[in-house]
Structure 1
Amino acid sequence: MASHTRLLTGLDGQRYHFDAGVFCLELLLTGGPGPVGEAYEILFGPDDLAEWLLDSRLNDTAPVRREDLDITMADLSHVVQFRNALWHAAEAMAQGKAIEKGHLEVINAAVGEAPRPQIDVVTLRRHWAAPVTGKQIAAMAAREAIDLVGSQRLRQCAGDNCYLLFLDTSRPGKRRWCSMERCGNRNKVREFRSRSGAAS
C-alpha cells in the first residue's frame, strides 16, 4: 500500500507529517464530530472538499483535476454525515469497543457508485471519469471503511490528547504514533526526562 503523507498543523502551531494509511481515514482529517473534530473542521462549502481532494490519496490512482470534480451542497452534507459516522465507528474499532448500529447504517448507506479510473485511449494516461461527485467520494471511502471492520491494524495515536486514527501499514505492525515528528518525539522526551529524574 503506497505511503501518502500530508503536512498537518496542530492547534499549537506545530507542523508534522501524517499518513492515515487509507483514503477513508484520510478523510477524517477534514474535521469531525465533537469539540476536537469541530476545531479542525475545514468543510464549509463544496469548494473546500474539492480543494482538499486535489492533494488526497485519489491521486495515487489517477491525477485529480479540479475541473473533473462536481460537488454540490447536498453532496457535502452527505460526505460530512458519512465522515462523522466513520469517526465514531473507527474510534470504537481502534479502542476495541462495539460500534453503534446507527453509525454502521450510515456507512452502509453511503456505499454506491465509486469514482471510476479510466485510461486515455490516446495518451494511455490514467484519469478519473468525470464528473466525480461528492457521493462517489463517500462511496469510495465507505467501501474502504467496510474492509477495515475487524482489522487488527486500525490504530488511534497513543499520544496524550491525540485522536488521530490510522491504518498501521508497517511491516512489523507496531506503529503507535500519528507521527514521530510529533507524538513519537514527545514520548521520547518524556521517557528521557523520566530516566534522568530517576538517575539523579
Structure 2
Amino acid sequence: MAVTFPDGGHHDGFCAPAALEPVRVFVNTLDLDAGTDGLTDPDGLVEALRGTVGLAAEAVPTAADVQAARALRDALRALLACNHDGGTPDPSAVRVLNATAADADLGVRFAPEGRSVVACGVPGVRGAFGRLLAIVAAAQADGTWTRLKICPADDCGWAFYDVSRNRSRRWCSMEVCGNRAKVRAYRDR
C-alpha cells in the first residue's frame, strides 16, 4: 500500500530506491510549498505509517505519538540537510534519533541464515518508527543515504533523491526552486 500524499507538481520524479523510499515519503509529510502537514493528528500518522513501513490495524496512535513522529521527521530532515550541505546535524536531532531508536529497541538481529539486520524489538507506532530508522541505517551502510537530500529553498524543503552522476544536485527542481533562487539572487544584485 503506497501513501497517497500528493506530490506538489514539481516534486514528481525524485523517488528514492524502493528500500529508502519510505523515509523520503515520511519526511515529505511536511510540504512547505503546499503548506500541508500530514502529521497533524493520529489519523494522519496512521496513514503515513501504513503507507510507508506498515502499522498493524490494532495500533492506535496517541497525540504523544504524533508529537514523537513530528520530532522524528524533523530529526531526519536535519540529517538530510547534512547530506546536502555537509557538516553534522544539530545535537538535539541526534538526541531525538537516539531516543527513538531506544524506544523501538532497535538493534542488530540475525536472520536464520546468519545475515545481520537492524531491526526493532517492539510493535506498534514505536516499532514503525524503529523500522524507519532501520531503513536509514541500511541506507547509510549501502551508500544510498548520501543521495537523499532536502531542497535548500526556504519555501520548499522537499526530500528528493539525487540521481546525478556526481551527486551534486542542489534543488529538488531546477525549473522551480533553482529558478526562484536565481531570480532572487539577480534581484538582490
TM interval, shorter chain, is: 0.5 to 0.7
Instruction: Give TM-score scaled by structure 1 length.
Output: 0.57
Among 107, 114, 128, which residue is 1:137 paired with?
A: 128
Deviation of 1:91 after TM superposition, in Å, equals: 1.0
Q: 2:6 matched to which residue of 1?
A: 8
* Inter-CA distance 98–47: structure 2 relative to 1 (3 Å threshold): same
Q: 2:99 matched to which residue of 1?
A: 109
Q: 1:48 matched to which residue of 2?
A: 44
Larger Rg: 1
Matched, 1:176 2:165: no
Higher relative contact order (Cα pairs below 8 Å, separated by 6+ residues): 2
AA aligned opposite 2:136: A
Q: 1:125 matched to which residue of 2?
A: none
Q: Deviations over 1:50-90 (max 9, x none)?
A: 1233432x36xxxx66x244322222221111111221222
Instruction: Give TM-score scaled by structure 2 length.
Output: 0.59
* Inter-CA distance 178–93: structure 2 relative to 1 (3 Å threshold): closer
Asked if 2 retains the 8 angstrom alpha-carbon contact of 1:8 and 1:16, the reply is no
* Inter-CA distance 68–89: structure 2 relative to 1 (3 Å threshold): same
- Percent identity between the two aligned chains: 20
Deviation of 1:142 after TM superposition, in Å, equals: 2.1
Which blocks of at least 5 consecutive residues in structure 1 are unaligned?
A: 115-130, 191-200
* Inter-CA distance 42–102: structure 2 relative to 1 (3 Å threshold): same
Count the aligned residue pairs. Answer: 153
Asked if 1 retains the 8 angstrom alpha-carbon contact of 2:77 and 2:150, the reply is no
For the aligned residue pairs, the C-alpha RMSD in angstroms reads 3.9
Alpha-carbon separation, structure 1, partners of 2:147 and 2:66: 29
Alpha-carbon separation, structure 2, partners of 1:104 and 1:30: 20
Asked if 1 retains the 8 angstrom alpha-carbon contact of 2:16 and 2:24, the reply is yes
Q: 2:186 matched to which residue of 1?
A: none
AA aligned opposite 1:108: N
Matched, 1:100 2:90: yes
Asked if 2 retains the 8 angstrom alpha-carbon contact of 1:5 and 1:17, the reply is no
AA aligned opposite 2:92: G
Deviation of 1:29 after TM superposition, in Å, equals: 1.1
